[in-house]
Amino acid sequence: LKARVAIIGSGPSGLASAGVLGSQAVVFEQRHELGGKILVSGSGQCNFTHSGTPAEFARRYGSAGKWLKHALYAHTSDCFIEAMNRNAVPTVIRDDGKAFPASLKAGDVRDALVREAKGAELRPDTPVVGLDPVAGGFLLRSPAGDEHFCAVIMTCGGRTAQISGGRPDGYTLAAALGHGIVDPHPALTPVYAQPHPLAELSGISLEAALLLPGAKPSKAPRGPLLITHFGFSGPLILDHSRDIRPDDDLALDLIPGGGEKLTSALVAGGTAAVKTVLLRHEIPRRLAETLLQLAEIPPGLILAQLTRAGRERLLDLTTRFPVHVGRLGDWREAMCTAGGVRLEEVDSRTMASRIVPGLYFAGEILDYDGDSGGYNIQAAWSTGRVAGLAALQACRNSNS
């Protein structure tokens, strides 16, 4: 009789583990739908990975990137794309590097991962409600009854778009086994600004740089910024929301790299309107008008009439636009969970628990979170493969 491995969760990490373990795996999924979050990802199109080398990938997970290196180098985005192709899902990589199924249907990615898990026993509508270490493995409790497994891979995901139905979530199950949990909080989430003088400009997007509290302006990350009716979003904000807290004072450079040129243009004098100079520096028209208003500069003012104080107010607003963070988006808005099972307690080369023998973790339940652009599903898949391979080896050893 083959030793069986239980996988808790059928997201990209759980299905990736099942793809390695095949008929040795039993996948428990509390929902009726397998891979439910894959279906809503990328607005239903599933941006499942991104172009780039493993080294470039590793820079997309904040301080956890180093820990993820083994998984990202061993199971790359090319391997993921290949897995899609061998399961009859052609893929496309957009100019911005984001990879999607060519059909733009998230269901195709989910179905390919299910096909790849051929042989595994898939059990939807089956929540795991308890997990006890016993001799030679675990006793796992679910509505299907109490069952023995030689190893367990926890791939329960994070707190976004999650249903718990009052049952213990993955963090609770892991904590009950002795694992430390870094307080989960929403990531890849927008910023609510307080006050928000740009609210009327909702929908405008532009390239900007973000100055985080205490960070050097020369290190300010750049990227697309979206002004919303409540504050700011777009990859520049979403990708750095893991480093932002309520009540932080941030600043936005609305012409990244262009501050000096704008200063020279504004001090040059002459008959050009100040507004025209802003437009020449690629500041969207409505934003330029609002910046002039906030700097108390009349709309038709020409450079020769611009006072030094007015110029400084305008430059300040343009290159260091102040944003006070009222709050961050909540679980309904976040696309990812920061925090989770402590990485120090998990071996990054095998995803094995350093606390409970035979227990493995993969995916978003772990204390990492990636940038937007396909990095989260890729990390879930890569860590899921690592955990699957290690559990397979461990069960083979215990059989022999």
Ligand X SMILES: Cc1cc2nc3c(=O)[nH]c(=O)nc-3n(C[C@H](O)[C@H](O)[C@H](O)COP(=O)(O)OP(=O)(O)OC[C@H]3O[C@@H](n4cnc5c(N)ncnc54)[C@H](O)[C@@H]3O)c2cc1C
Q: Which residues bind ligand X (CB under 6 A)?
A: 8-14, 28-31, 36-37, 40-42, 46-47, 127-128, 155-157, 160-161, 167, 169-170, 335-336, 363-364, 374-377, 380
Q: Do residues 332 and 125 lie in contact, with contact meaning Cβ atoms separated by under 8 Å? A: no
Pick 72 or 277: Cβ nearer ligand X:
72
| C-alpha to C-alpha distance for 238 and 29, rounded to whole angstroms | 29
Pick 6 or 198: Cβ nearer ligand X:
6
| Closest approach of ligand X to the CB of residue 338, in Å | 11
Pick 192 or 375: Cβ nearer ligand X:
375
| Closest approach of ligand X to the CB of residue 97, in Å | 12
Q: And the tokens for 304? A: 């020769």
Q: And the tokens for 54? A: 């493993």
Pick 155 or 241: Cβ nearer ligand X:
155
Pick 8 or 315: Cβ nearer ligand X:
8
| Closest approach of ligand X to the CB of residue 227, in Å | 21
Q: Do residues 291 and 278 lie in contact, with contact meaning Cβ atoms separated by under 8 Å? A: yes
Q: Do residues 236 and 223 lie in contact, with contact meaning Cβ atoms separated by under 8 Å? A: yes
Pick 144 or 204: Cβ nearer ligand X:
144
Pick 169 or 367: Cβ nearer ligand X:
169
| Closest approach of ligand X to the CB of residue 127, in Å | 4
| C-alpha to C-alpha distance for 98 and 46, rounded to whole angstroms | 10
Map tokens 């996988």 to a residue: 7
For 249, phi then psi, to 5°, come to -105, 115
Is the omega angle on the peptide bond into residue 133 within 30 degrees of 0, that is, cis? no
| Closest approach of ligand X to the CB of residue 85, in Å | 18
| C-alpha to C-alpha distance for 190 and 167, rounded to whole angstroms | 29
| Closest approach of ligand X to the CB of residue 208, in Å | 22
| Closest approach of ligand X to the CB of residue 49, in Å | 7
Pick 83 or 156: Cβ nearer ligand X:
156
| Closest approach of ligand X to the CB of residue 179, in Å | 15
314 CB-contact burial (10 Å; exposed 0-12 / middle 13-18 / buried 19+): buried
| Closest approach of ligand X to the CB of residue 349, in Å | 19
Q: And the tokens for 283? A: 């500041």
Pick 108 or 169: Cβ nearer ligand X:
169
Q: Do residues 28 and 8 lie in contact, with contact meaning Cβ atoms separated by under 8 Å? A: yes
